[in-house]
Chain A
Amino acid sequence: MKNSNLLIIISFISIVACAQKHKSIVIAEDPTTIDYTTEVVVPKLDIPWGFVFLPDGALLITEKAGKLIHFKDGVKTNIDGLPEVYLRGQGGLMDIELHPNYSENGWLYITYSSSDGEGEGGNTALIRAQLIDTKLTSVERLYKAEPNSKRGQHFGSRIEFDNDGYLYFSIGDRGNRDVNPQDITRDCGKIYRINDDGSIPNNNPFLEFPGAKTAIYSYGHRNPQGMICHPDTGEIWVHEHGPRGGDEINRIKKGKNFGWPLISYGINYSGTSFTDDTYLPGMEQPLFYWVPSIAPSGMAYVTSDVYKDWKNNLLIGSLKFEYLERLVLDNNKVVKREKLLEGMGRVRNVRQGPDGYIYASLESIGILKIVPNKY
């Protein structure tokens, strides 16, 4: 009888000790065969946060430390004319994106952390600019989140356009979890939607809400650092970092609350819990969640036929486990996860190039091209 009591206690303790909630439904597998090789296209980069392909085949690369690099025919050139970057913690020079009509209007969009405005510290800002020779010109600031904060976390910063030409970008909760994400009169912990000139679309969700930041499109986010426009549906998909466990992929919907930190599949770094709920009415459920966390960064949707089995898959970088994750979807559900590029470095960003090949930026390495073996 004593033994059974002991058993009850032990099992109870182990249940509580694993405050980890549910594990991911699908586990990341090692590939059965590796039918690709990699080629370093741009060598020697520290933290290549974002990159874009220009129409002439050049690459523009953001280095987190505050450098914008033009790369063509093996030559790196530093681009001048960036605004001052507030380098602090996870903040720095972050994402870069081209206007959908870049070849006509030349607009580039860049996110970075900025100390402009009142108060000590900084917050995420978005500019647009045009590249002339080796200099950014016509720099216009389109958004700057408030208030400034000296905290080092969660600047968000991915940029994406949808098929209607709206510009979306993310800002993380800036380490102020219990104040920012659920309050639409405050910046941070949000997905934003603006017009390409920075003006607010006249059908944004919170225009009538007293005191709301009217650029907000959805809220209740922690730190979204991957964003795509789904090629078939035009829907914006983001992924975001959870704390310990609870990274998520979310399908963004107008005016919706994605729940952080009231619902989460994660726990505190220290192992303690901050919410018991993974579901509450009025809050969106993720398309997929990761437990344990992979620390996702960058996302691409494969539309090309360059790779045998990868079409219509999602590719997502893992900073924590240093691989590129391939997620196979069936009816908007993740049915398979596979590790690519394992053990090479922290994968910061991934994109499909205009040539249909996949390019990934890895910290301390540079930008890699994934070349499939013949099939």
Chain B
Amino acid sequence: MKLLSFVFLIIGIFLMMFFNSSYDTQYTSYKTLKSQSQSKELKESIKRGNTVYSDFCVSCHLPNGNGVNKIYPPLANSDYLEANRYASIKGLKFGLKGKIKVNGVEYNKYMPPMGLSAEEIADVMNYMNHSWGNTFGKIVTVVEVSAIK
């Protein structure tokens, strides 16, 4: 019986390792990538966007994009992000201030500009638009970001 418990424990450990890795953002984006047919350009932008996200966004919006209720709005399945492409890019570029409503919850905070380049903003937008189950719109380009003043 002891042996059986041990075997189960080992299986448990392997299950756990698998389970843990599925929480990794890298893996999530990989899954997202596989499930859609995306242009090479978009795929590469998403990949770079993951790095930008891990550097500048993750500590508030969290690896799973869920944010913190009432403090940091969610990006995963976010109706705001889906419907406000222009305002989202503008917010990343110049900061986002004032009331917004995300998935029915009101947020009234200040997200400061992070000092990202136009390419970094395009990349992180593409990452957010195509991660955690999001499939929001076509590719965001550097030209589009640069045009927003």
Interface residues of A (CB under 8 A from B): 1, 4-5, 8-9, 12-13, 16-17, 46-47, 64-65, 86-89, 91-92, 151-153, 175, 269-272, 320, 322, 345-346, 363-364
Contact = CB atoms under 8 A, between A and B. Distances in A.
B84 interface: no
B68 A89 contact: no
A233 to B, nearest CB: 33
Contact of A270 (B13, B16, B23, B55): B23
Contacts of A269: 58-59, 62-63
A47 B110 contact: yes
B109 A89 contact: no
A5 B58 contact: no
The listed residue with most A CB atoms (<10 A of its CB), out of B12, B24, B97, B113, is: B12
A177 to B, nearest CB: 13
Interface of B: 1, 4-5, 8-9, 11-13, 15-16, 19-20, 23-25, 55-56, 58-59, 62-63, 68, 71, 95, 97, 108-110, 112-115
Contacts of B25: 270
B97 A364 contact: yes
A16 B97 contact: no
Contacts of A345: 109
B20 A271 contact: yes
Nearest to A293: B59
A135 B108 CA distance: 34
Contact of A65 (B4, B20, B112): B112
A271 B95 CA distance: 29
Contacts of B55: 89, 151-153, 175
Contact of A152 (B12, B95, B110, B114): B114
B47 to A, nearest CB: 17
7 contacts: A12-B13, A16-B20, A17-B20, A46-B97, A152-B56, A153-B59, A320-B68
A89 B8 contact: no
A81 B84 CA distance: 38
Given A5-B5, A5-B8, A89-B55, A16 B24 contact: no
Given A1-B1, A152-B55, A272-B24, A64 B112 contact: yes
A269 B97 CA distance: 26
A33 to B, nearest CB: 25
B45 to A, nearest CB: 18
Given A64-B112, A92-B112, 16 more contacts: A5-B4, A8-B5, A46-B110, A46-B112, A47-B110, A65-B112, A87-B115, A88-B114, A153-B55, A153-B59, A269-B58, A270-B25, A271-B20, A320-B68, A320-B71, A363-B109
A346 B114 CA distance: 17
Nearest to B54: A269
B99 to A, nearest CB: 11
Contacts of A65: 112-113
Contacts of B58: 269
B24 A270 contact: yes
B110 A363 contact: yes
A9 B115 contact: no
Given A89-B56, A270-B24, A9 B112 contact: no
Contacts of A5: 4-5, 8
B63 to A, nearest CB: 5
Contacts of B23: 270-272
B113 A270 contact: no
A8 B114 contact: no
Contacts of A151: 55
Contacts of A89: 55-56, 114-115
Nearest to A270: B63
A159 to B, nearest CB: 21
Nearest to B117: A150
Nearest to B116: A88
Contacts of B20: 16-17, 271-272
Nearest to B23: A271
A314 B55 CA distance: 31
A293 to B, nearest CB: 10
Contact of B12 (A9, A271, A272, A364): A9
Candidate in B4, B8, B19 with the most chain A CB atoms within 10 angstroms: B8
Nearest to A64: B112
A8 B112 contact: no
Contact of A88 (B15, B68, B110, B115): B115
